[in-house]
Amino acid sequence: MEMYPLKSAPLFQPRIWGGRRMHDVLGKALPQGQNIGESWEVADLPEGQSTIANGAFRGQTLGSVVRRYGEAITGARGFAGPFPLLIKFIDAQQVLSVQVHPDAETCRRMGKGRLKTECWYILRAEPGAVIYKGLKEGVTRERFAQAIREGTVADLLAAVPVSEGECHFIPAGVVHTLGAGLLIAEAQTPSDTTYRVFDWNRVDDAGKPRQLHIEEALQSIHFDMTPDKLPVTTVGRLVDCEHFKVDKGHRTEGGEVRLSAGLMRTLIFLTGGGTILSPSAEPADFAAGDCVIIPARFEGAMRFTHDTEYLTATL
């Protein structure tokens, strides 16, 4: 099978804290009458599968294609899945629940879950918007557990003001959440293991709080992770960790970027547009809001018809 650029068809996730900004900013054709919190652009999880939107694989799930052509797509000998990245857009119109994701050692110790490390690229931020990233200096497990019992966890969180164009790295074990008024692009390891530790004392229409995962969260949190240990980047290589790398690119109208074979790339287009060309594949157009997987066995070029900003995620 000849490899070609794989455009994704997203899986939209309604959330009570979501909105409609993916349509307004990224041109997403959102379902009517729903507040969409997450758009799973590239996903190969039991909890959800994105599909291929173009070419010979059109309409097939990413997972089914990766399991048949894993080596050709990823470049890794004998690779059979799952796809090693999860890419999302997130529209947070309200503050999300405070949560933590486990690292590999915690998953082994508890006998469940899957490591989850992520990064957030800020696309839009309303004035005064913040994220909560880590804990204040000196917070211990005992103090944090007491705050959970008392409903005062918010007092121990590190609130970090954010600006458009910033990338925030959130490794496994860091307590975190998005504040209100943010639209972000997220790249992460392929996991949906989330332990909710605090939900701002909210209740639903029936007066019931959402489910929390207190014991799992307390076992997963790295209490020494404060914001000063979590750098913020804005240009060039934004993230370089053991699980993935993310680079920020910008090209002007009329520019071109060669795509050499041998490296799988997942492209996240934030603005602009253009076309991916190759002698052996049909042209693949892209625009703001699109995500495209460039298989390791593909060779071609991106030509830009507009000024374009994009992220490139690699392994």
The CA-to-CA distance between both ends of the chain, in Å, stands at 23
**Cα–Cα distance between 71 and 212 in angstroms, integer?**
39
**Domain annotation covers residue 208:** yes
Q: Are 123 and 270 in contact (CB under 8 A)?
A: yes
**Domain annotation covers residue 278:** yes
pLDDT at 201: 86
Based on the domain organization, do 47 and 182 belong to the same domain?
A: yes
pLDDT at 207: 86
Number of domains in the chain: 2
Based on the domain organization, do 159 and 276 belong to the same domain?
A: no
Based on the domain organization, do 226 and 260 belong to the same domain?
A: no
Based on the domain organization, do 222 and 256 belong to the same domain?
A: no
Q: Are 274 and 286 in contact (CB under 8 A)?
A: yes
Based on the domain organization, do 90 and 122 belong to the same domain?
A: yes
Based on the domain organization, do 214 and 252 belong to the same domain?
A: no
Q: Which two tokens stand for residue 290?
A: 């699109």
**Domain annotation covers residue 239:** no
What Rg value do the Cα atoms of the chain yield, rounded? 20
Residue-wise DSSP of 253-273 = TT-EEEE-TT--EEEEE-S-E
Q: Which two tokens stand for residue 154?
A: 């918010």
Containing domain of residue 251, as a range?
245-314
Catalytic residue, chosen from 15, 21, 196, 297, is 196
pLDDT at 146: 97
196 catalytic? Reply is: yes
**Cα–Cα distance between 181 and 172 in angstroms, integer?**
24
Mean pLDDT by 10 residues, the chain (315 residues): 96 96 97 97 97 98 97 94 96 97 98 98 98 97 96 96 98 98 98 96 84 96 95 96 98 98 98 96 97 98 98 98
**Domain annotation covers residue 275:** yes
Condensed to tens digits (0 to 9), the pLDDT of residues 59-91 reads 999 999 999 999 999 999 999 889 999 999 999
Based on the domain organization, do 73 and 177 belong to the same domain?
A: yes
Based on the domain organization, do 290 and 142 belong to the same domain?
A: no
Global pTM reads 0.97
Domain boundary among 232, 259, 283: 232
Domain boundary among 206, 232, 258: 232
Q: Which two tokens stand for residue 26?
A: 């990224």
pLDDT at 238: 98
pLDDT at 126: 98
Based on the domain organization, do 151 and 228 belong to the same domain?
A: yes
Based on the domain organization, do 75 and 120 belong to the same domain?
A: yes
Residue 212, number of CB atoms within 10 A of its CB? 17
Dihedral sign computed on CA atoms, order 198, 115, 263, 234: positive
Based on the domain organization, do 162 and 282 belong to the same domain?
A: no
**Cα–Cα distance between 228 and 226 in angstroms, integer?**
6
CATH code of residue 258: 2.60.120.10
pLDDT at 210: 86
Main-chain phi, psi angles of 217, to 5 degrees: -65, -45
